[in-house]
Amino acid sequence: MKECRIIIMGFGAVGQGIARAISLKKAMIKQDYGVELKVVAAADSSSSAICQEGLDEMMLVHIKNSEGRLSAYRDCGTNMSGLDVLDAVEYDLLMEATPTNIETAEPALSLTLKAFEQGKDVVTSNKGHLALKFSEVTQAAEDNGVEFKYEASVGGAMPIINFTRDTLSSCGIESIVGILNGTTNYILSRMTSEGSSYDITLKESQELGIAETNPTQDVEGIDAACKTVILANSLLGIDATYDDVEVEGISNITSQAIELAKKDGYLIKLIAEVSPKNLKVAPRLVKMGSSYDVSGTLNMATIKTDLAGEITVMGLGAGSLETASAMLTDVISILKTKY
Amino acid sequence: MKECRIIIMGFGAVGQGIARAISLKKAMIKQDYGVELKVVAAADSSSSAICQEGLDEMMLVHIKNSEGRLSAYRDCGTNMSGLDVLDAVEYDLLMEATPTNIETAEPALSLTLKAFEQGKDVVTSNKGHLALKFSEVTQAAEDNGVEFKYEASVGGAMPIINFTRDTLSSCGIESIVGILNGTTNYILSRMTSEGSSYDITLKESQELGIAETNPTQDVEGIDAACKTVILANSLLGIDATYDDVEVEGISNITSQAIELAKKDGYLIKLIAEVSPKNLKVAPRLVKMGSSYDVSGTLNMATIKTDLAGEITVMGLGAGSLETASAMLTDVISILKTKY
């Protein structure tokens, strides 16, 4: 039986989702693809659990939630983290789920490049290194002859990158227009349904855990702009970085503006546009009842093609297990081609 | 340079779309996948054009439209058709686009099985043989070690089969619910927007070329039921045939019923449901503004998964070039794995 030895780097919501998804699906993957997945290390920001014979995925989740640190894993806990972990264990594939940093791209950038140099495949949910250095990172993967997959970096569980590449491969892609941030869509949907102000709605969303304590990345459009860059590079072949995107967030949207739009049959949505002419994230009016009329934390994207017309896809843009499922699909596609 | 020699069988709207799509995309495919596509034969119901050195795709379309028969193709025209063509030329891949026959599955069934026996790959848009004999046909492909792809048989340009298999491969599929017939969706949308009766709307749709002269397959739900069976077999592993689907069409829907639904915020749609418990096509009430609220000839499907939640996809369910694009994507996926 072939084996794929995995390091999970980052053990927040997504990292824990990966562990749960592997636990749920490793029997299916063994059966259908003939490969045994084995988690040989998992690391949070300051500690890790490492075991060449394999760790119990659900035990990792349990330890993290009960003890706060993976170092509490019996007989396998260490105080190592980050790059050191990549040297401490033999592995085949890095599943990278550290938090996105749009200033430095770290630690994702160093981790990813080191894994490539070690000849290892990488699956990531991180946006930072892709938004800041897309061509450098993908080129490094190519130079080292390894696989690099990042479906989960855009749209969470909503398939968009593999979807466009694999199932629309006969088509030229002219543009992608969509709602790529669930938090802002939730805030705008709620302002629309309740007539409430931006400030109050943001606060409620924070209380519900939908918006973060520091909501800047979401509400100022930064998160959506990162995704815009990733789609531009990966699907339209546009060599762009984060600074090339024109960005406007939703913090200036008033309940009056939403009310006025509503009277004319429109909604205000934070729309990302990816086309050779425009890389842009901004609030826009969309028709009620159109495919852009999705509420809550849903993401959607309409892909305009030359042969197949417009194709729209819609799904959950976030969520622990949901995002992890996109990463596991990336792993499976690597298993199919390389194992 | 590797070569893929293609027979196009059936030269109506879809067959002509295939020729146009190949003409538009063969340079891209040569560049990106290193394979030269060459159409060595194209056949309509009573004649064909055959040339081992390759036919001009746009000339085939021109001849068919100006002369009505492919036999008028200079130096290459023949009076052969159907099975004989598969013996008359050396080829690698059959693109099968003959009309669906839900009684006999012919000529698709014989053509496909013969191509398999000859060791050739097949890409089809036909529903008949899949709806009546799914396991027999897919088993024959496996026994002969050839590829068999049928994305275009469901949803036209809307990706659903490859989409679910490739980009949701980590997920278990619990159900698929959607609108799989564009003609009935057009009729119901128009009855809703105009308040017109079924009979008048059907007649108008026929005049516009959206409904066929004999509309039975569409309006009685037969077409959607075929697609239901194909999805059940291919994506949920349910060994079913056409007779296992409970089918009710739209011909009994009155404008009064639509009006009543509308008052409560509902629409009437012809919904196909694919789940282990239910294989069913029937008119159902759906909420206005929900993802089932798509108008015109659009198709949509919501795929319920265990890990990724609900994913919805939407696209053009018909159209010559659109359907051909799905077939060409199937061809590319064969090129990627076999060439």
Distance CA B32, CA A134 (A): 21
pLDDT at B317: 87
Nearest to B97 by CA among B162, B18, B4, B25: B18
B35 and B57 in contact (C-beta within 8 Å)?
A: no
Asked if B129 and B109 touch (Cβ cutoff 8 Å), the reply is yes
DSSP of A30-75: HHHH-EEEEEEEEE-SS-EEE-TT---HHHHHHHHHHHSSGGGSTT
Every domain of chain A and the residues it spans:
2-157+320-338, 164-316
Please give the average per-residue pLDDT across B61-69, as a whole number.
Answer: 97
Query: What pLDDT is recorded for position B202?
Result: 97
- Nearest CB among A21, A172, A310 relative to B307 is that of A21
Identity of the amino acid at A205: S
Residue of A nearest to B161 (CA): A167
Can you tell me the distance from the alpha carbon of B274 to that of A255, in angstroms, rounded to the nearest whole number? 42
CATH number of A2-157+320-338: 3.40.50.720
pLDDT tens for residues B260-281?
999 999 999 999 999 999 999 9
Phi, psi values for residue B301, rounded to 5°: -150, 140
Categorize the per-residue pLDDT at B1 as very low, low, confident or very high, splitting at 50, 70 and 90.
confident
What is the rounded average pLDDT of the residues A238-257? 97
User: Residue A98 carries which DSSP code?
Assistant: P
Instruction: Give the CA radius of gyration of chain B.
Output: 20
Q: Taking Cα atoms as reference points, which of B115, B146, B147, B123 lies closest to residue B326?
A: B123
pLDDT per position as a tens digit, A129-155: 999 999 999 999 999 999 999 999 999
Contact A325/B312, CB-based, under 8 Å? no
Residue B264's Cβ-count burial label (10 Å; 0-12, 13-18, 19+) is: exposed
Binding-site residue set of A for NADP(+): 10-15
Nearest to B169 among A158, A305, A332 (CB): A332
If you measure CA to CA, which chain A residue comes closest to B300?
A312
pLDDT range class, residue A35, cuts 50, 70, 90 = very high
**Level-2 CATH architecture, domain A164-316:** 2-Layer Sandwich (3.30)
pLDDT reported for residue A316: 92
**pLDDT tens digits, B12-38:** 999 999 999 999 999 999 999 999 999
Angle subtended at Cα A163 by Cα A160 and Cα A167, rounded to the nearest 5 degrees: 155
Q: Tokens in use for A305?
A: 């093609």
Binding-site residues of B for L-homoserine = 212
Backbone angles phi and psi of B41, in degrees to 5: -160, 150
| pLDDT tops 90 at residue A115 | yes
B236-B237-B242-B246 Cα dihedral, nearest 10 degrees: -50
Where is the binding site, in residues of A?
A: 10-15, 127, 212
**A157–chain B nearest CA distance, Å:** 5
Q: How far apart are CA B49 and CA A201, in angstroms?
A: 66
Strands B266-274 and A48-50: unpaired
Helix and strand counts by DSSP (H, E) for chain B = 12, 13
Q: What is the pLDDT of residue A317?
A: 87
* Angstrom distance (rounded) from CA A261 to CA B89: 62
Bigger pLDDT: A295 vs B136? B136
Q: What is the mean pLDDT of chain A?
A: 96
Residue B268 has a pLDDT of: 98
Q: What is the pLDDT of residue B23?
A: 98
Instruction: Give Cα B189 to chain centroid, integer Å.
Output: 22
Contacts of A328 in chain B (CB under 8 A): 170, 307
Q: Kindly report the number of other CB atoms within 10 A of residue B216's CB atom.
A: 12
Residue B42 has pLDDT above 90, yes or no: yes
Please write the tens of the pLDDT for every residue from A155-188.
989 999 999 999 999 999 999 999 999 999 999 9
- Give A296's contacts in chain B (Cβ within 8 Å): none
Report pLDDT for A113. Answer: 98
Whether residue A162 lies within 8 A of chain B, CB to CB, comes out as yes
Q: Find, among B30, B11, B82, the residue nearest to B324 by Cα.
A: B11
pLDDT value, residue B69: 96
How many C-beta atoms lie closer than 10 Å to residue B239's C-beta? 9
**Catalytic residue list contains B227:** yes
Distance from CA of A337 to the nearest CA of B (A): 9
Among candidate residues B227, B262, B263, B304, the one labeled active-site is: B227
B289 band by pLDDT with thresholds 50, 70 and 90:
confident
Contact indicator for B140, B253 with CB cutoff of 8 Å: no
Contacts of residue A39, Cβ cutoff 8 Å, sequence gap at least 6? A6, A7, A8, A19, A22, A54, A55, A57, A60
Q: Which residues of A touch B326 (CB under 8 A)?
A: 170, 308
| pLDDT reported for residue B318 | 84
Please judge whether B305 and A325 are an interchain contact, meaning their C-beta atoms are less than 8 angstroms apart. yes
What are the tokens at A290?
């159109």
Residue B191: pLDDT band (50, 70, 90) is very high
Put simply, the answer to whether A311 touches B159 (Cβ < 8 Å) is yes
- Whether A336 shows a pLDDT value over 90: the answer reads yes
Distance CA(A138)–CA(A131), nearest Å, equals 12
pLDDT of residue A54: 98
Please give, rounded to a whole number of angstroms, the shortest distance from the CA of A139 to a CA of chain B: 17
Contact between residue A111 and residue A82 where contact means Cβ atoms under 8 Å apart: yes
Q: Is B88 helix (H, G, I), strand (E, B) or coil?
A: helix
Backbone phi, then psi, for A315, in 5-degree steps? -175, 180
Residue of A172, A305, A313 with shortest CB distance to B313: A313
Provide CATH code, domain B2-156+320-338: 3.40.50.720
Q: What's the pLDDT tens digit per position in B84-141?
A: 999 999 999 999 999 999 999 999 999 999 999 999 999 999 999 999 999 999 999 9
First to last CA, chain B: 11
Of A167, A316, A333, the CB nearest to B308: A316
pLDDT of residue B109: 98
The Cα angle at residue A38 between residues A36 and A39, in degrees rounded to 5: 155
- Mean pLDDT in residue range A282-310: 95
As a whole number, the mean pLDDT across chain B is 96
